[in-house]
Amino acid sequence: MSERTKLFTAYTFPSGVQLNNRVVMAPMTNFLSNEDGSVSDKEIAYYKRRAEGLGAVITACANVNESGKGFDYEIGAHRDDLIPGLKKLADAIHEQGTKAILQIFHGGRMVPARLVPNQDVLSASAVPALREGSATPRAMTEEEIQQTIVDFGEATRRAIEAGFDGVEIHGANTYLVQQFFSPHSNRRDDQWGGSVEDRMNFPIAVVESVRKAVAKHAKNPFVIGYRFSPEEKEEPGITMDDTLQLVDVLSKQGLDYLHVSLSSFNQGSMRDEGDTKPRITLIQERVGDIIPVMGVGSLHTPDEVEQALSTVPLISLGRELLMEPDWIQKVTEGREEEIRVAMKMKQQEQLVIPEPMWTNINSVPNWFPKDDE
């Protein structure tokens, strides 16, 4: 048994849900669900291959309504008929002794128009994303905003009925919850936009809807997490000062953790190259004594994870678990030198990365180091 004391220390969330250790699987899009949003057998196999030994698995994002579908072959949490498939997924993760957390989201202006009803792309305001080919979204009506808030709560109810141990609200990576908080995508002058405080109203309303669903439907302790991106490159865009104000408020909402979405755990500002203090450190110093903070980003080795756990109490691994599904077992058994550090191009079947996920992840330049073995 490895003697890595931080990594293998159990952890109990404020809700009372306990993890066996401090390492969880990060949410990653996998393109493996059926076309109707139901969980597929190959998706279950993919998660089952990676779940053993982890503290928890956070699934790929699941859309809370039809207008929020952001990817082909995405998990859906927007209809009751999807609950049986979600239950199979939660059960498969539980069979490995691991907690299961469903990430719930709405893609907002980042959805492909072809995936949503009437190609009607919605966002906080009619401002397109700054990327080639982005559609100009339609500003959501008050009724649509209120319904979407309800839909986050209903997706949470379905997660509870399916047997998940928690949900993670996806407020990161430029999707709808972040779009309402961002001064770039939110130009509203009603209660949902304007000052940084008013731009928080939608995210906080989503949190409240999720909390109400948990209070009403959960019979056992149930985790509520919130993921966010600390900054945006756009002008105007989310600044670190904005985010520190946001986490001040989020830390008082009865959440179980804040998940900071970063490409590199210790990265500094993306807005100011001279500001090199890690964003994760700023957030931990601000609210870490109030709410657990989870970090992620290019933590490949057990040494790097152990060191990161000196900053925050929880770590999620993404690409590392794609390249090495047995990461946690090899650390547990003292076989760290056997950990795969590159994507083994001839081991697709052993890695259990089905199509179309295999082709998609290997078509992104420089995402993975690759090994022709």
For residue 280, which phi and psi values (nearest 5 degrees)?
-65, -35
Alpha carbon 264 to chain centroid distance?
Answer: 15
Single-letter amino acid code for the residue at 333: E
What angle do the packed helices 142-162 and 201-217 form, to 10 degrees? 40
How far, CA to CA in Å, does 16 sit from each of 119, 221, 290, 372?
42, 6, 16, 45
- Supply the DSSP string of 243-258, one letter for each residue: HHHHHHHHTTTT-SEE
> Annotated active-site positions, please?
175
First-last CA distance in the chain: 29
**Phi/psi at 245 (nearest 5 deg)?**
-65, -40
265: which 2 tokens?
Answer: 């755990």
